[in-house]
Structure 1
Amino acid sequence: MTTRDPDIDVIVVGAGNAAACAAISARNNGASVMMLEAAPRDARGGNSTYTAGAMRYVFNGVDDVLSVVPDVNPDTLANTDFGTYTEDQFFDDMFRVTQFRTDPDLCELLVKRSLPTLQWMRQQGVRFQTSHGRQAYKIDGRFQFWGGLSVEVWGGGPGLVDMLLDSAEKKGIHILYETAAVSLIRDNNEVIGVRVRHNGGERDLHCKAVILACGGFESNAEMRARYLGPNWDLAKVRGTRFNTGAGIQMALAVGAMPCGHWSGAHAVGWDQNSPAFGDLAVGDAFQKHSYPFGIMINARGERFLDEGADFRNYTYAKYGREILAQPGQFAWQVFDAKVAHLLRDEYRIRQITKVSDDTIEGLANKLEGVDRDKFLKTVAAFNAAVRTNVPFNPNAKDGRAADTSPRKSHWANTIDTGPFEAYAVTCGVTFTFGGLKISQDGQVQDTAGRPIPGLFAAGELVGGLFYHNYPGGTGLTSGAVFGKIAGEGAAAAIAETKSRSAA
């Protein structure tokens, strides 16, 4: 069945953070909007629903923080040093962690529009809170923030999705659930609609512009193996099962230019026995991100990376790949009692793969799949190499190193005080880095570098921002920034077309 619906200006494919920001932005700029969500309502929101809600943005002091979170408790405010996170710092982080490959034009939009976009989100009904529980440690009675992150969304990912989609519905945006986009409809070179599948049948929905914001290909095992490489089909998926790369494939089918790091992905240490896809009841708590305070060992009983190379915000998204490359695609994170109080809340959930013992020898006996004798030798060598004369400081790159191979650059503590704990992790893939080439107004470009009329994109399926690695909290910010841009771009293109027609 083909249905022309001239009342729909913009169709947004997806219903997560980027999609909702695009839909709201387009609606605020005068366009009528419909959203398509492949998932049922209780699983809506794509990967956004599974996030912790941290958002990286530029803040030059407490006034910028308060412009996003105006209701900070005065006592908390008086006992907190937020520091700053300047544009230069954001740029430096993006270029450093991507090995200077990030697209400079897109990166500039991301950085310079980060604070205004969070302020805009607040105006649309999104509530934020400070990240005291995740990004600050108390030193001498005063909280000190680290790692460039100061705020997160109230209620995490589920709260973000609910607040954004509630706002969208209040603005008259209709959301179709269990409605998967199948292909784009074209009239000559212009995109004029989407073919959708619902309840086993297909139909055409026509519009004046389409915004693709339906995620990368992380939930597609075949595409992971094809583009990311061997054994990536064995990785766990941290989030939704619905991000199968359909939006990317639809765009490529109409001549869109592939862009970005197609063999790269955001991938972390994730509980070894977690389910194949994300569990909303657990959320992001299967992640295990306190590794800078311990050591990580593989099946051979050996360390294989620098657990303290940088703040975990700048290493966690690449260490999933390192774990996947180990024998059996797993590792154990090992901690002793001296740092147990620093472990994040995710280490205390019920659904966890954990062993503990009062002695290191007893712990070694419980590390399933690990060479016991080699592990004990590794611990002994590591302990002997720790610079115990350097003070330990979890808020700073403290230079407390272990001069062994591989070196641990910061936060090295001897593993010698029981009880000892160990947690089994594997690779959990979050999102893929390869995607579509877009212009600075969010319009998808073709393989000749020309804009495809009527087609815009935002979120994970935008290529060119992230290579090799990723600064924590940048994904939601990127989705919001480029979602807002795509919505504005689509509405402006429609208004221009109407203006020409009227003339």
Structure 2
Amino acid sequence: MLSSTGERLSEADLTGHDVLVIGGGNAALCAALSAREQGASVLLLESAPRQWRGGNSIHTRNLRCMHREPTDVLSDAYLEDEFFDDVWRVTGGITNEVLAKHVIRASETCTDWMKSYGVRFQPSLGGTLHLGRTNAFFLGGGKALVNTYYQAAERLGVTILYEAEAEQLVFDDNRFDHALVTYNGSPRKVSAKSVVIASGGFESNQAWLEEAWGEVSRNFLIRGTRFNQGKMLRSLIDNSAMVIGDPTQGHAVAIDARAPKYDGGIVTRVDCVSLGIVVNRDGKRFYDEGEDFWPKRYAIWGRLIAKQPGQVGYSITDSKAQGRFMPSVFPPEQADTLEELALKLDLPVDAVLKTIDEFNAGVQPGNFDHSVLDDCHTQGVTPEKTHWAQRIDEPPFYGYPLRTGITFTYLGAKVDEKARMYMANGELADNVFLAGEIMAGNILGQGYVAGFGMTIGTVFGRIAGTEAGNYAKD
């Protein structure tokens, strides 16, 4: 057996570590690095091949950070109360307030810690993002981030195995004993003094999605890795972990319907929703496109589209929207008339024209400003558009077909502030720590605010690694 560095491993190398980290994305890597900071020996198991390492983290761009004053990459200030208000609003109050505030406060130290391992940042982008004050962007995106962490982990002596899939966790009462792992096509028994499970959600497991959502889930696309099958989550449930979250809740956005089934990533997201209207396949609007800033609302649109006939929607804009948003990797359908655009999108022409005529008639005079919650709204239209409402009347016209793009699921296991996992009987597991998507449902009961998943993963990855390392050394 060979490690990531080409070093030959013995069976003893799979059983003699202080900390076992299961997962290969941001949370897992933060845990591995933090455990090494405590002097613990660490084995990290990544189920994906090396070229696909990093899980959903490779598709990310930023994390949301509390800060008291401007920094080298963040403007103004973003304090705890405002940050928490944003989380409270998007979750509708379905959040663990103690854990949410714990993450928010800890996020203030994240960028400096990340820089200490070589992560570099860049100024935020413009357009519909409105994130220059709240979110720190990684230079080179998530792929560069995880590559930097992997290099640091190898440099510090973390043993990394690729295509090493943990199939099952074996507990002795409330204590982790060992994991059953498939590596190089063969079963292996892997033990450690403590374990950090940061293996993601179940979003790539079609059978589990269908169990939660029904047949409509067959029309969903998966924005991230195909390797998040939820095996460790299922094993935790089988070992009587305390379950938290709704299996139908998760980070689900509107993405281009032409995206691939897996790994379309950020470039398939359609960001012009707030600049126009969205109709279903019957040509009817179904939700307020201008409810709030896009980073606070983009993650509701996947669920909205999932509830529409055929699980499909269509974003329609005119020439006034061009240059105001980050375009999808796929070019929009374009036409000189709305009739022609409806035909290109295979929509009922009369219904689309009626919807747009009614919308245009309802647009009230105002001062359009996409950088603020402006006074451009509709009146007498159902649903109303509360901000950025402009008549769709200047050709050429543009249309994007939309599907539900699942990023990650919120069903997980309950943890405390030290990332320790609760058992169903209310007791804490003895040596089990969780980080990332597998515990994000403690804080994200529903909804999403941009960059917060990476914040949760970074903060709880560091906590889990530190606590697991200290447990093992003690």
Q: Structure 1 length normalisation: TM-score?
A: 0.89
- Mapped to 1, the partners of 2:327 and 2:144 lie a distance apart of 19
- The one-letter code sitting in structure 1 at the alignment partner of 2:37 is N
Structure 2 residue 112 is matched with structure 1 residue 119: yes
Bigger shift: residues 337-346 or 485-494: 337-346
What percentage of residue pairs aligned between the two structures are identical?
Answer: 37
- The corresponding residue for 2:393 is 416
- The corresponding residue for 2:429 is 452
Structure 2 residue 408 is matched with structure 1 residue 431: yes
Bigger shift: residues 4-13 or 329-338: 4-13
Structure 1 residues 55 and 4, CA gap change in structure 2 (3 angstroms): closer
> Map of 1:454-493 to 2, 5 A cutoff?
454-462=431-439, 463-493=441-471
- The one-letter code sitting in structure 1 at the alignment partner of 2:261 is A
- The one-letter code sitting in structure 1 at the alignment partner of 2:371 is N
1:5 to partner: Cα distance? 5.3
Contact conserved, 1:4 with 1:205, CA < 8 A, in 2?
no
- The corresponding residue for 2:295 is 313
Structure 2 residue 214 is matched with structure 1 residue 237: no
- The one-letter code sitting in structure 2 at the alignment partner of 1:108 is K
- The corresponding residue for 1:384 is 361
Structure 2 residue 209 is matched with structure 1 residue 224: yes
- Mapped to 1, the partners of 2:177 and 2:114 lie a distance apart of 29
Structure 1: gaps spanning 5 or more residues: 70-80, 137-144, 497-503
1:393 to partner: Cα distance? 0.6
Contact conserved, 1:125 with 1:163, CA < 8 A, in 2?
yes
- Mapped to 1, the partners of 2:206 and 2:390 lie a distance apart of 38
Contact conserved, 1:135 with 1:149, CA < 8 A, in 2?
no
- The one-letter code sitting in structure 1 at the alignment partner of 2:247 is W
Equivalent pairs, count:
463
- The corresponding residue for 1:355 is 333
- Mapped to 1, the partners of 2:115 and 2:214 lie a distance apart of 40
Structure 1 residues 242 and 6, CA gap change in structure 2 (3 angstroms): closer
1:399 to partner: Cα distance? 2.5
1:29 to partner: Cα distance? 1.1
Structure 1 residues 134 and 213, CA gap change in structure 2 (3 angstroms): farther
1:208 to partner: Cα distance? 0.3
1:360 to partner: Cα distance? 1.9
Contact conserved, 1:17 with 1:45, CA < 8 A, in 2?
yes
- Mapped to 1, the partners of 2:15 and 2:319 lie a distance apart of 65
Bigger shift: residues 172-181 or 220-229: 220-229
- The corresponding residue for 1:142 is none
> Map of 1:63-462 to 2, 5 A cutoff?
65-66=71-72, 69=73, 82-133=75-126, 145-146=130-131, 149-279=134-264, 283-346=265-328, 349=329, 351-352=330-331, 354-368=332-346, 370-388=347-365, 390-403=366-379, 404-462=381-439
Structure 1 residues 233 and 450, CA gap change in structure 2 (3 angstroms): farther
Per-residue CA distance 1:452-486 (angstroms, 9 max, x = gap): 11211100010311122011110111100000010
Contact conserved, 1:193 with 1:209, CA < 8 A, in 2?
no
- Mapped to 2, the partners of 1:59 and 1:4 lie a distance apart of 42
1:3 to partner: Cα distance? 5.2
Per-residue CA distance 1:356-376 (angstroms, 9 max, x = gap): 1112222222221x2110100
- The one-letter code sitting in structure 1 at the alignment partner of 2:470 is A
Structure 2: gaps spanning 5 or more residues: 1-9
- Mapped to 2, the partners of 1:176 and 1:90 lie a distance apart of 37
Contact conserved, 2:320 with 2:394, CA < 8 A, in 1?
yes
- Mapped to 2, the partners of 1:133 and 1:165 lie a distance apart of 30
1:234 to partner: Cα distance? 2.4
- Mapped to 2, the partners of 1:4 and 1:27 lie a distance apart of 17
- Mapped to 1, the partners of 2:150 and 2:307 lie a distance apart of 39
- Mapped to 1, the partners of 2:469 and 2:414 lie a distance apart of 20
Q: CA RMSD of the aligned region, Å?
A: 1.8
Per-residue CA distance 1:388-425 (angstroms, 9 max, x = gap): 2x100111111211121111010111100011111111
Q: Decide which of 23, 47, 71 is 2:32's aligned counterpart.
A: 23
Structure 1 residues 83 and 399, CA gap change in structure 2 (3 angstroms): farther
Per-residue CA distance 1:319-378 (angstroms, 9 max, x = gap): 1011111112111111111111213132xx3x44x311112222222221x211010011
Contact conserved, 1:147 with 1:311, CA < 8 A, in 2?
no
Bigger shift: residues 485-494 or 20-29: 485-494
- The corresponding residue for 2:45 is 36
SS of the aligned residue for 2:114 comes to: helix
Bigger shift: residues 229-238 or 204-213: 229-238
- The one-letter code sitting in structure 1 at the alignment partner of 2:90 is V
